Amino acid sequence: MDPVTVETPSLEVAGLAFAYPDGHQALFGVDFRVERGERVALLGPNGAGKTTLVLHLNGILTGGAGTVTVAGLPVGKRHMAEIRRRVGIVFQDPDDQLFMPTVREDVAFGPAAAGLRGAELEERVDRALALVGMAEFKERPPHHLSFGQRRRVAVATVLAMEPEILVLDEPSSNLDPASRRELADILRALDVTVLMVTHDLPYALELCPRSLILSEGVIAADGRTGELLSDDDLMRAHRLELPFGFDPRSVTAGTGRP
């Protein structure tokens, strides 16, 4: 990972507003920053603008007002290749990212496209797979793996690019309890900034000390995850609900421990 100064955040979004061609205004002026090494959850009801925001982080959507800066680089045509290396997005469905005959080829695809070859490429693949506990499956076809294993390989395909920030879209969806815990252990151990988009509020509390609530195209709240989830009025106002019987005060945010 390229060195950045202590003062340079991994991500800074300032005054971001965006309307789709049909006139639907999705973002109305979003402002926040994520420091290097933070794990931050992006919460909000359906239709809040979360997907629109994420698509601005690596330049898939552009053209609205405001700015997005990744590790000091403004998102725009001039830096687009480097921005897309630095912002690694892991989709909700791992099958959207896995399309090669073997796990190794899937994880190697991004670095190889960026020009990496030979021993350096193999080292990058091995390191990424080791980080997610999938090294022994290197030569397996992805479609022979369980859903949870495929999700870990999808994370490895992004880690192989050595990103500045890892963006996870609903990482716990469709995982059984053991796979959910295994992924949480992996994410806690990574030395990378994490922005986790999720409706799974207990998972956000387990992994992310800080959360942002995006609602109606603006950041409605930014604070410690446990405090936000314990604010009944705030939760109700933004259509967020915890599972029945779950007490956010029983977990120390970001640790998964009582």
Where are the domains positioned within the chain?
11-250
Report the percent of the chain where pLDDT is more than 90.
86
Q: Judge contact between 194 and 168, C-beta under 8 A.
A: yes
Whole-number pLDDT of residue 5: 46
Buried b (16+ CB within 10 A) or exposed e, 148-173: bbbbbbbbbbbbbbbbbbbbbbbbbe
| Token pair recorded at residue 206 | 């387990």
pLDDT digits (tens, 9 = 90+) for 166-213: 999 999 999 999 999 999 999 999 999 999 999 999 999 999 999 999
Whole-structure pTM value: 0.90
CA angle 233, 235, 238 (to 5 degrees): 105
Query: Once rounded to an integer, what is the mean pLDDT over residues 62-76?
Result: 91
Strands 210-215 and 218-224, how do they pair? Answer: antiparallel
- pLDDT, position 181: 94
Q: What is the pLDDT of residues 111-132, one digit of tens each?
A: 999 899 999 999 999 999 999 9
Q: State pLDDT tens for residues 31-67.
A: 999 999 999 999 999 989 999 999 999 999 987 899 9
Q: Give the CATH number of domain 11-250.
A: 3.40.50.300
